[in-house]
Every structure is written in structure tokens, then in C-alpha cells.
């Protein structure tokens, strides 16, 4: 029987408790006609997984495997051609269900259901084997290792949508991405730069700022320094930003407003709920 | 929610964004493949037998030490995992 990792219930209050990890085994069903069975090779953490262990997340479940990000190889399929075409392929998984293509948000009434550790979705990727609908698979980009491919789905998706919504991922635009080091921020830096924009970053850690510049950041500011918001306009051509992508909230909304061109965009990329 | 009047007075949009659609997922993966982009991996733990090793990844995240993603590689049955 395949093994996986879930959390184990212990007593404690939300934010004080820290649920231990537990190795579990479970029976892996045969795929239905439109499903595939995947031998998972790598799975990645997201902040929600930490919040789940701290009971700072809604709908947590003990016994459902953790994690939403996964890469693996299809080892069995259902009879439908939509499933059979995946046999033997290396895939990465759509990290949640319930949202097909609406620009506004999930179409399904229950909302978006992310894999890993909660009642809303029976699947999680920190497992040896997983059975899932074939439509949730994408071919793993061939140039990526298993670990790099597993690192892509949730943060890549979140950064992609956030950047698209700014409509500022284009040459000549200046974007600030705060908290570089986090997965979503790094993907936003990568996507923004690849789209031709100049992406500036912030961090409280000088080493992270340096690494970000090596990855193509146009400049960086240390938000622990008093007056960082005065240093940034000096780095930016034209002195003003076109968009800010921020995952933490707080004072960035006030300070950021003064850094942005009038009538430009500002974003809050939230913890997925 | 902090005071947003400075944004309001400048006609700045403050928008929320979380996750994305199945279509956006496909578009994103296509872009990554086309542009040969590589997600940054901060640290990898190999195997799901050592809870302490797995816990250390969560600790990195809790302490904000990571630069990039924290990943677990899951070896095939029969392959040895480093303990």
C-alpha cells in the first residue's frame, strides 16, 4: 500500500498547537475511465501547509495527505482516451479544483478547493501514489528537474494571475514585488522580467536582495531600513512604479500608494482560502 | 485593513488576487516551457521516512530562511532514502 504524510491530531489551541507529521498508508484505487494514477516523485511546501499545522487555516483534516504541489509519472490510466494519452508521461498537477476559466474567480459554488490537508479536497501530493482526473495534469516542462517541476504549480499559478491582473507585465513598466524569497514573489519576479518589465524587490535580508539581483531584479530595497520608500524612487526610471505585488499587507498599502503612478495598479496577493 | 485613503486619493486600484483558473495554469506552464524559466528551489529533503528531516523544511519556512521552494523528493519503493 502506498505511503504518504498527513498531520496527526494533538490537543492545543489554534496558533499555539503544531500538529506533528505522521506517515500513513492508504489503498490506492484503480483509476476510473477519466483518471490517471501517478507515481509522485516530488512535492513542494506552501505557506498554507505551515498554517495547517498551526491550525490557522479553515477546514483542516487529519488523515488527508499534505501538500498541493506535485510532480510525477503516470503509471496507470482509465480507459478514456483523455486519460490514456498521459500513460508514461511526466506531469505536474493543477493545485486545486473548481475554477475552469472565468477571469473573475472560481465558477463552482463551493469555491476553489486546494489539495493538501483539508476537508474540501480528498487529495494531497505528499504521497507515493495519487489518483486524479486526467484533466488536472499538465506536461512537466522538460527542462525542469522533478524538484523544480514540483516547485512550480501553486506559486507559479498565483504569481501568473496576479501579474496578469496588473496588466503591467510588459516592457517599459516598473513593478515592485515585496518579500522576495517567498515562492510567489520569486515567480512574480521571473514572470515580470520575462515579460520585459523592470522588477524591483524588497526584503529584510541583504543576501536575498543580492540573490534576487542575480535572478534579474532591476534593484532591491531593504524594508528594515528606515526610509526605504525614499530610496526606491531614486532607483526607478521616472521615479514611480506601475504596480506593486505584495503578499503581506500592512504598511505597504500606505507607503506603496505614494510610490505608484496615479491611476496605476496595486495588488494584494492573499493567502489562498 | 490599514488606512487606504492615500491609495484612494490617487485613483489607485487595490485588488486582491488568489490562486488562478485551470486555463491560467495551462497558460502559465506553457510560458515557463517556452521561456525556459526555472523555479528557485531552496532546499530538498529526500524521502518520507524521516519526520525530523521533513519537519526541518517546515522550520525553514516558519523562520523565513528559505529563498525559493522547499521540496520533498519521494524515491520509488526499494530505493534507499538518506536518513
Mutate to test the interface with A, among B5, B19, B26, B63 (most CBs of A within 10 A): B19
Distance (Å, rounded) from C-alpha A204 to C-alpha A222? Answer: 5
Q: Among B3, B9, B29, B81, pick the best mutation site for testing chain A contact (most A Cβ within 10 A).
A: B29
Contact B41, B57 (CB under 8 A): no
Main-chain phi, psi angles of A215, to 5 degrees: -85, 0
| Confidence at residue A265, expressed as pLDDT on a 0 to 100 scale | 64
User: Which residues of chain A does B57 touch, with a Cβ-Cβ cutoff of 8 Å?
Assistant: 45
pLDDT tens digits along A160-204: 999 999 989 999 999 999 999 999 999 999 999 999 999 999 999
- B26 in helix, strand or coil? helix
Contact list in A for residue B20 (CB cut-off 8 A) is 99, 157-158, 160-161
Could you tell me which of A183, A126, A128 has the C-alpha nearest to residue A160?
A183
- CA distance to A232, A262, A263, B1, per residue, from B8 (Å): 22, 10, 10, 14
Closest by Cα among A117, A8, A17, A9 to A68? A117
The answer to whether A158 contacts B19, with C-beta atoms less than 8 Å apart, is: yes
B15 CB near a chain A CB, below 8 Å? yes
Cross-chain Cβ contact A23/B51 below 8 Å: yes
Which DSSP state fits A121?
-
**Percent of chain B beyond pLDDT 70?**
88
Rg (CA), chain A: 20
For residue B10, which residues of chain A lie inside 8 Å, CB to CB? 257, 260, 262-263
What is the model's pLDDT at position B12? 82
Burial class (CB in 10 A: 0-12, 13-18, 19+), A249: middle
| Percent of chain A whose predicted confidence (pLDDT) is above 70 | 96
d(C-alpha A140, C-alpha A142), whole Å: 6
Distance CA A96, CA B18 (A): 12
As a whole number of angstroms, the distance between CA A134 and CA A3 comes to: 22
Provide ipTM, 2 decimals. 0.94
Counts of helices then strands in chain B (DSSP H, E):
3, 3
pLDDT tens-place string over residues A86-133: 999 999 999 999 999 999 999 999 899 999 999 999 999 999 999 999
Could you tell me the pLDDT band of residue A254, with boundaries at 50, 70 and 90?
confident
**Statement: residue B81 has pLDDT above 70:** no
Does residue A118 contact residue A112 with C-beta atoms inside 8 Å?
no
B53: closest chain A residue by CA: A21
Task: Give the nearest partner residue to A253 out of B4, B9, B32, using CB atoms.
Answer: B4
Q: Which residue has the higher pLDDT, A193 or A252?
A: A193
B40/A151 CB distance under 8 A: yes
Task: Report the distance separating Cα A146 and Cα A115, nearest Å.
Answer: 19
Amino acid at each position: 500500500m502506498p505511503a504518504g504524510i498527513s498531520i496527526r491530531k494533538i490537543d492545543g489551541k489554534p496558533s499555539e498547537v503544531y500538529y506533528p507529521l505522521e506517515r500513513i498508508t492508504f489503498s490506492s484505487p484503480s483509476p476510473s475511465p477519466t483518471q490517471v494514477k501517478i507515481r509522485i516523485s516530488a512535492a513542494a511546501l506552501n505557506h498554507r501547509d505551515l498554517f495547517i499545522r498551526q491550525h490557522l487555516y479553515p477546514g483542516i483534516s487529519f488523515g488527508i495527505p499534505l501538500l498541493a504541489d506535485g510532480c510525477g509519472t503516470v503509471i496507470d490510466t482509465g480507459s478514456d482516451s483523455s486519460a490514456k494519452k498521459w500513460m508514461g508521461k511526466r506531469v505536474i498537477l493543477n493545485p486545486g479544483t473548481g475554477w475552469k476559466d472565468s477571469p473573475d474567480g472560481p465558477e463552482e459554488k463551493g469555491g476553489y478547493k486546494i489539495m493538501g490537508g483539508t476537508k474540501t479536497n480528498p487529495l494531497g501530493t505528499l504521497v507515493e501514489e495519487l489518483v486524479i482526473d486526467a484533466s488536472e495534469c499538465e506536461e512537466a516542462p522538460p527542462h525542469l528537474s522533478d524538484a523544480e517541476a514540483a516547485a512550480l504549480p501553486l506559486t507559479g499559478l498565483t504569481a501568473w494571475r496576479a501579474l496578469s491582473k496588473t496588466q503591467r507585465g510588459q516592457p517599459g513598466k516598473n513593478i515592485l514585488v515585496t518579500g522576495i524569497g517567498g515562492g510567489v514573489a520569486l515567480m512574480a519576479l521571473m514572470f515580470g522580467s520575462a515579460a520585459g518589465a523592470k522588477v524591483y524587490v524588497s526584503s529584510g535580508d541583504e543576501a536575498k536582495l543580492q540573490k534576487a539581483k542575480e535572478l534579474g531584479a532591476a534593484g532591491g530595497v531593504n524594508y528594515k531600513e528606515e526610509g526605504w520608500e525614499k530610496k526606491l524612487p531614486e532607483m526607478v526610471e521616472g521615479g514611480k512604479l506601475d504596480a506593486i505585488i505584495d503578499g503581506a499587507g500592512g504598511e505597504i498599502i500606505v507607503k506603496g500608494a505614494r510610490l505608484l503612478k496615479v491611476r496605476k495598479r496595486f495588488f494584494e496577493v492573499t493567502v489562498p482560502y | 485593513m490599514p488606512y487606504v485613503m492615500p491609495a484612494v486619493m490617487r485613483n489607485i486600484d487595490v485588488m486582491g488576487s488568489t490562486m488562478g483558473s485551470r486555463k491560467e495554469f495551462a497558460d502559465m506552464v506553457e510560458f515557463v516551457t517556452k521561456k525556459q524559466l526555472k523555479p528557485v528551489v531552496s532546499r530538498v529533503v529526500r524521502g518520507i521516512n524521516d519526520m525530523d528531516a521533513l519537519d526541518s523544511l517546515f522550520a525553514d519556512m516558519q523562520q523565513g530562511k528559505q529563498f525559493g521552494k522547499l521540496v520533498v523528493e519521494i524515491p520509488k519503493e526499494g530505493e534507499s532514502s538518506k536518513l
